């Protein structure tokens, strides 16, 4: 069976200069919850395996494991391709995490760096991650989660509303890619609307929420800091959906 030489690639995680080291494929632990987050695409798997068999494992692309447990946090497709190609070892970074939620956040964040997350993946993140906090321990959970996932704040609010108020059928439709988060949220929101108290029309709500990120940009453009932007955005969202009263 093939083995890797000692890799010398510098670490990319959180600015740490740790080096990747060879880890036995058999010693890497697959966590069912983490492995189920992102589907391994057959075409991508076959292409990576072909490259490994032809050129060897690309040592600039190590997998990431949790230090002390060897739970695989990032690199499921690469590991699967290496296993199919018959490698005994792969280069791996060992990374410490404060808790499981931090580990899950890192998994999503690494994917978001590579590509845009899909609706089902954003919904899964909203379900699994309550939300990171600032260094001072304060909130802004939805805003911080949106920032780290590379999506709009409204998308996180909508995903959480679907999980909280949507039916199993509506949630499953998003998970299966049959409905977008925006479309499913529209269904949830219409069920909330009070009869006989139209403070804003459905069309107006659609127009505002469809330009949610423009609102954030406009607020920043007039010189407001991120904390104020987040607070005004959240209150606007709540006002639109009857979760607080105007003052």
What tens digit of pLDDT does each residue of 5-44 get? 333 333 334 334 358 999 999 999 999 999 998 889 999 9
User: 61 with 130, same domain?
Assistant: no
Reading phi first (left if > 0) and then psi (alpha if -120 to 50, else beta), residue 150 is in left
Q: Do 121 and 103 share a structural domain?
A: no
- Which of 98, 115, 132 is the C-terminal boundary of a domain? 115
CA-based radius of gyration for the chain? 22
Does 247 fall in a domain? no
Residues 59 and 126 in one domain: no
User: What is the model's pTM?
Assistant: 0.65
Check whether residue 120 and residue 154 sit in a common domain.
yes
Shared domain for 21 and 69, answered yes or no, is yes
Residues 129 and 139 in one domain: yes
129, 217: one domain: yes
Same domain (yes/no): 101, 161: no
Here the CATH number for the domain that contains residue 17 is 3.90.1530.10
Strand 63-66 relative to strand 72-74: parallel, antiparallel, unpaired? antiparallel
Question: Is the residue at 246 inside a domain?
Answer: no
Of 90, 115, 140, which one is at a domain's C-terminal end? 115
As a whole number of angstroms, the distance between CA 149 and CA 219 comes to 21
- 146-167 exposure pattern, b = at least 16 Cβ within 10 A, e = fewer: bbbbebbbbbbbbbbbbbeebe
Torsion of CA 229, 102, 129, 81, to 10 degrees: 120
Residue 80: give the domain boundaries. Answer: 1-115
Q: How far apart are CA 42 and CA 48, in angstroms?
A: 10
Report how far residue 90's alpha carbon sits from residue 22's, in angstroms, rounded to the nearest whole number.
5
Whether residue 245 lies inside any domain: the answer is no
Tell me the C-alpha distance between 20 and 33, whole Å: 25
- My answer on whether 46 and 85 are in the same domain is yes
CB-CB neighbours of 68 under 10 Å: 9
Domain count, the chain: 2
Same domain, 71 and 171: no
In a domain, 14, yes or no: yes
d(CA 57, CA 55): 7
- Phi-psi sector, 211: left (phi>0), alpha (psi -120 to 50), beta: alpha
Tokens linked to 74: 């990032």
Backbone phi and psi for residue 221, each to the nearest 5 degrees, phi listed first? -65, -20
pLDDT of residue 13: 43
Q: Name the domain boundary from 115, 134, 164.
A: 115
Q: Which residues pair with 29 in a beta bridge?
A: 71
User: What stretches in the chain show pLDDT beneath 70?
Assistant: 1-18, 131-139, 193-247
Same-domain pairing of 56 and 3: yes
Q: List phi, psi (to 5°) of 210.
A: -75, -20
- What CA–CA distances, in Å, run from 3 to 18, 64, 73, 83, 246? 21, 18, 22, 12, 65
One domain, residues 28 and 123: no
User: Domain for residue 71, yes or no?
Assistant: yes
């Amino acid at each position: 069976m093939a083995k890797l030489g000692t890799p010398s690639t510098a670490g990319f995680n959180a600015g740490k200069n740790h080096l990747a080291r060879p880890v036995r494929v058999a010693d890497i632990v697959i966590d069912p919850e983490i492995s189920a987050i992102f589907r391994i695409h057959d075409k991508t798997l076959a292409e990576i395996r072909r490259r490994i068999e032809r050129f060897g494992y690309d040592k600039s692309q190590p997998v990431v494991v949790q230090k002390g447990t060897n739970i695989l946090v990032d690199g499921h497709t690469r590991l699967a391709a290496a296993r199919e190609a018959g490698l005994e070892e792969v280069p791996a970074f060992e990374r410490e995490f404060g808790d499981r939620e931090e580990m899950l956040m890192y998994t999503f964040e690494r994917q978001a760096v590579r590509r845009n997350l899909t609706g089902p993946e954003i919904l899964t993140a909203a379900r699994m991650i309550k939300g990171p906090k600032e260094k001072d321990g304060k909130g802004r959970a939805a805003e911080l989660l949106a920032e780290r996932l590379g999506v709009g704040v409204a998308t996180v609010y909508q995903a959480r509303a679907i999980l909280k108020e949507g039916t199993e059928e509506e949630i499953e439709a998003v998970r299966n890619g049959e409905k977008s988060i925006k479309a499913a949220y529209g269904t949830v929101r219409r069920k909330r609307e009070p009869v006989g108290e139209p403070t804003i029309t459905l069309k107006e709500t659609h127009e505002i929420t469809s330009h949610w990120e423009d609102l954030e940009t406009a607020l920043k453009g007039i010189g407001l800091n991120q904390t104020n932007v987040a607070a005004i955005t959240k209150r606007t969202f709540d006002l639109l959906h009857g979760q607080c009263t105007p003052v």
